[in-house]
Amino acid sequence: MLILGLDPGLTHTGWGLIEAAGGRLSWIADGAISTRAGTPLPERLAEIHRALCELLLAWRPAEAAVEHTYVNRNPAAALKLGQARGVVLLAPALAGVPVAEYQAMEVKRAVVGSGHAAKEQVQEMVRRLLPGARLSRADAADALAIAICHAHHRESRAAIARRAV
């Protein structure tokens, strides 16, 4: 099953694609969708949406996972990030791809074992869990971590469901 992890951002939206087969994870691809700061907000949001639609069409993931956004001290920045996050949630939903959401601490706990892990620790564990991953940028590494978190949660839910039957 292909899982698309998405790390929302207005300047850089990270994406990472993994294959999950049981408890085995494999890196498929990663990258970032980047927009320019001087471009009007509607155009930046449209650019993110178009790029996500192309990704979804090219790879056809079975599920997607998105990180919740932390609240920023700057209300204007938080609002813009929230709008980008809305686009990131909308694109897979419109494509019929189920979308799960995870808190940053939940992602870190699933990948590193500690909800307070540093970004460097998360990136190192992503490299270990997904041999061959290129990690094109920090945003892409975060997106892969989100995909890994979703794969772990999904596998745990499946195991619990099997025991309940």
For residue 143, the model assigns a pLDDT of 98
Closest CA to 82 of 99, 69, 92: 69
| Local confidence pLDDT in tens for the 165 residues of the chain | 999 999 999 999 999 999 999 889 999 999 999 999 999 999 999 999 999 999 999 999 999 999 987 766 888 888 999 999 999 999 999 999 999 999 999 999 999 999 999 999 999 999 999 999 988 899 999 999 999 999 999 877 766 777 776
Q: How far is CA 3 from the centre of its chain?
A: 9
The vertex-19 CA angle with 104 and 128, nearest 5°, equals: 60
For residue 159, the model assigns a pLDDT of 66
**What gap in Å lies between CA 7 and CA 74, rounded to an integer?**
19
Q: Which helix (H) or strand (E) holds 20?
A: strand 12-21
Q: Which of 7, 30, 63, 142 is catalytic?
A: 7
Q: Which of 30, 63, 67, 142 is catalytic?
A: 67
Q: Which of 30, 63, 139, 142 is catalytic?
A: 139
Q: How far is CA 105 from the centre of its chain?
A: 14
30 catalytic residue (yes or no): no
**What gap in Å lies between CA 97 and CA 43, rounded to an integer?**
24
139 catalytic residue (yes or no): yes
Instruction: Go through 147-163 and write b for each residue having 16 or more CB atoms within 10 A of its CB, e for each that does not.
Output: bbbbbbebeeeeeeeee
7 catalytic residue (yes or no): yes
For residue 31, the model assigns a pLDDT of 97
